[in-house]
Chains A and B, each alone.
Chain A
Amino acid sequence: MFLPLRYPLANLAARRTRTALTVGVVALVVVATTLFSGLVSSLKETLVSTGHPRNLIVLRKGSTNDGSSSLPLEAFQALRYFEGVAREGGEPLASPELVVQPFFRTASGGRENVLVRGVEPVALRVHDEVELVEGRMFAPSSGEAIVGSGASGRYVGAQVGDVLEFGRGRWRVVGRFDAGGSSFESEVWVDARELANDAKRPVPYSGVRLRVADGADRDALARRIDADSRWALEAKPETEYYAKQAESANVFYLIVIGLAVLAGVGAAFGATNTLYAAVQARRAEIGTLRALGFPRIAILTSFLVEALAVALLGFALGAAIAAVLGRVVSQALGGIGFGAATFTTNVIQLRVGPSDLVLALGLALAIGLVGGFFPASRAARLRPVEALRKA
């Protein structure tokens, strides 16, 4: 009892300009929303993908981030031997680290705070998502550094073989590392003691990262560290620590939703307009179909299909443009920098991913349904006699 698919689709094809304009509106909304959503997703992904679920980050109590914490040497010495800390080849997987955020010069002449992490060699084993992809690990006390892939592309002197100038010194870049897209890729790693010297830190470490042994209770270990009365420390799973930082990106989601809603409603109004005009223009046709015996539901669904078809075309066009545009913009800008609350710059690549496309598809369908609903029901409710009236 339904009208064939050909009917609404043929009608769209017949009114080429109007269809094109409406598809254009939906496409533009899709591009705008997808780009923004992609930006936010990329940021979130970077922050959330950071951290190993079996790692604990230990900082001074009350410090919200590595940069503002400091850890006494004795504390580190003791923590390494706590029960529950993993061992490899007899050595505890405890990575003491110093975090400093000096200025770096960007390729475009700007100045950004970059997270420089002073580490010992054991760091590569505790942070096993970090992998050297070019060059080698720095040698201790040699003025060398390794850089994350995100940082490598953004700052002057950060390519392997170059010399980086930050803090009070010069550092030779001997390697580049990837870290599964996490925020470590925006960092530069050097020898902890050299960094402490350069930054004139009396205490060489700001915190320690511990790998919890297989089979050991991670949270119990954390509680034991917290409760230790010798030092005021706080231990937290690494993933949780970074997830918290990801929360600061939540305000962006608000913007994305706001954008989607406002733009979506606007586009829906545009679609409604177009469809109302179509219903008006095809009154006699609708009356005829009703006279022939097609039930109201057939008319309703047919017009809804028209609206949805426009929406889907808009989505397809918009998604394609967004994917290309996102890549172009990201390349042109050399990544997009976000200064999070931790006074450091996270470099993210704008990537349009499946979740962004799903959001855009949902938006497009909503535009089609909302925009098409009223005109479609007006069409369905037309009384045949009135629709066929010649005046």
Chain B
Amino acid sequence: MKFLPLIWSNLVRNKLRTALTSAAIALAVALVCLLLTMPGGLDRILNEIASNNRLVVLNKAGLVYPLPYSYLQKVRAMDGVVAAASWTWFGGVFREEKGVEFPNFAVEPDPIGVVWEDWGIAPEQLEAFRRYRDAAIVGRGTLDKQGWKIGDRIALKGTVYPVDLEFQIVGEIPDAQAPHLWFQREYLDQALRAAGRGGLETLGTIWVRVDDPDEVAPLLARIDAAFRNSEAETASETEKSYFANFFGALEGFVTVILIVTGLVALCIVFIAANTASMAVRERMGEIAVLKALGFSRRLVFATLFAEATLLSTLGGMLGAFAALGITAFLRQGVAGWSPALGPLGSFVVTNTILVQGLFLAFFVGMLSGVVPSFGAARRPVAETLREVF
């Protein structure tokens, strides 16, 4: 590494070019990181958040078909079930002109702490949720996006059910991507009765916690068998499978994103290669002198190569930081779960993505440095000296 000063001095020799190249690479890497947050957000849900120990029971015909509320008790009574809770889509809107901005559900307050233990909701908050009829627990993603905090009172207008409900936020789901709002099922039931609409007779989906992995498959079969040939047949699956299906339609979009990402990555290669070849071309003379002085071909090659790689990696680091900054800014208002994009819009730059971006820059630097460096290192000294002097 005694050549580091030499390599560095070459980079600062033409400050403008170095600055422009690293800025260009930084932008491209930032873009790659930003783009990757989209499938990244999806991946994260599918692989990290979705659990194999949580099962979901839904109407076989579709998500918008309800299940009788009695099913919940029946499921709870089955072997292997640690706890079960139901979700019923309320579809409330916060700002009427914006429509449904985040998913909101009526749930039972007692079992949720058990069924979603891995979501890390604070016990005092769960307690408050149980205690206050109009309590609501909101995911951090929505809290951030709407600028709410615990203690705020908010109101949602009903779209599916003809009632409007007011809540006080007593707790949060800590995950930065989480968009949900939960409130008490009883609350909706009472509101409907008060409006003369009867009570809440159905539920949307049942979520089941299972602790023994061996119980999963038999339990799924048992649940579906119990309701076969009834008015509402069920289709039970693990949470992982459910999300995979739910977001399946986004597959096409994700493909396009990945293609675009690949194109941008290729851009980086071109930019870096261009600069490297310009630099080498201009320094033909010096390279010949170095070789005449006795620097071996391999050494000349290595220093040129290191220069290109260093430049590219620096640009990559800048870009990665820029991506972090941009997403932090975006999450303040625009980003987050949206009906159109779902988890794709969360713009969370994970460590994986940062590493991918940096690695891309590093790898590209190497790749771009190879060809011009190779050519320069190989040229016979006399030829170069003759050409230059």
Contacts and interface: CB of A to CB of B under 8 A. Distances in A.
Q: Do A and B touch each other in the complex, judged by CB within 8 A?
A: yes
B380 interface: no
B268 to A, nearest CB: 8
Contacts of B263: 28, 31-32
A270 B277 contact: no
Interface string A240-261: 0000100011011010001100
Contacts of A102: 61-62, 64-65
A327 B260 CA distance: 15
A166 B61 contact: yes
Contacts of A269: 20-21, 23-24, 27, 271
A28 B340 contact: no
A339 B345 CA distance: 13
Contacts of A31: 263
A167 B60 CA distance: 8
A262 B62 contact: no
A336 interface: yes
A144 B85 CA distance: 38
A31 B263 CA distance: 8
B16 interface: yes
Interface in B251-286: 251-253, 255-256, 259-260, 263-264, 266-267, 270-271, 273-275, 277-278, 282
Contacts of B30: 262
Contacts of A248: 99, 338-340
B253 A112 contact: no
B270 A25 contact: yes
B177 to A, nearest CB: 16
A333 B248 contact: no
B274 A21 contact: yes
Contacts of B113: none
B20 A329 contact: no
Interface in A97-146: 100-103, 106, 108, 110-113
Contacts of B157: 62
B143 interface: no
Interface in A258-300: 258-259, 262-263, 265-267, 269-270, 272-274, 276-277
Contacts of B264: 28-29, 32, 263
Given A168-B61, A263-B27, A266-B27, A35 B270 contact: no
B252 A335 contact: yes
A101 B62 contact: yes
Interface in B107-164: 157-160, 162
B58 to A, nearest CB: 9
A64 B101 CA distance: 12
Interface stretch (A5-13, A83-91, A175-183, A340-348): A340-348
A325 interface: yes
A315 B65 CA distance: 49
B99 A199 contact: no
B260 A252 contact: no
B162 A339 contact: no
Contacts of A166: 61-62
B270 to A, nearest CB: 5
B91 interface: yes
A336 B255 CA distance: 9
Contact-residue bracket for chain A: 35 or more
Given A18-B278, A266-B31, A341-B339, A111 B248 contact: yes
Interface in B24-80: 24-25, 27-28, 30-31, 34-35, 60-65
Contacts of B35: 259
A28 B261 CA distance: 11
B322 to A, nearest CB: 9
B250 interface: yes
Given A18-B274, A270-B274, A340-B339, A262 B252 contact: no
A113 B162 contact: no
B93 interface: yes
B224 interface: no
Contact of B21 (A232, A267, A273, A339): A273
A308 to B, nearest CB: 18
Contact of B233 (A108, A168, A336): A168
A329 B263 CA distance: 14
Interface of A: 17-18, 21-22, 24-25, 28-29, 31-32, 35-36, 39, 60, 62-65, 67-68, 100-103, 106, 108, 110-113, 166-168, 198-200, 232, 244, 248-249, 251-252, 254, 258-259, 262-263, 265-267, 269-270, 272-274, 276-277, 325, 329, 333, 335-341, 343, 345, 350
Interface of B: 16-17, 20-21, 23-25, 27-28, 30-31, 34-35, 60-65, 91, 93, 99-100, 157-160, 162, 231, 233, 245, 248-253, 255-256, 259-260, 263-264, 266-267, 270-271, 273-275, 277-278, 282, 334, 338-342, 345
Ranked nearest first, the 9 interchain pairs of A and B with the lowest CB-CB distance are A336-B252, A341-B339, A110-B248, A266-B27, A102-B62, A337-B249, A269-B24, A111-B245, A21-B274
Given A167-B62, A341-B339, 10 more contacts: A29-B267, A36-B256, A63-B160, A199-B65, A251-B334, A251-B338, A266-B28, A336-B252, A337-B249, A338-B249
6 contacts: A31-B263, A166-B62, A258-B34, A270-B271, A339-B250, A341-B340
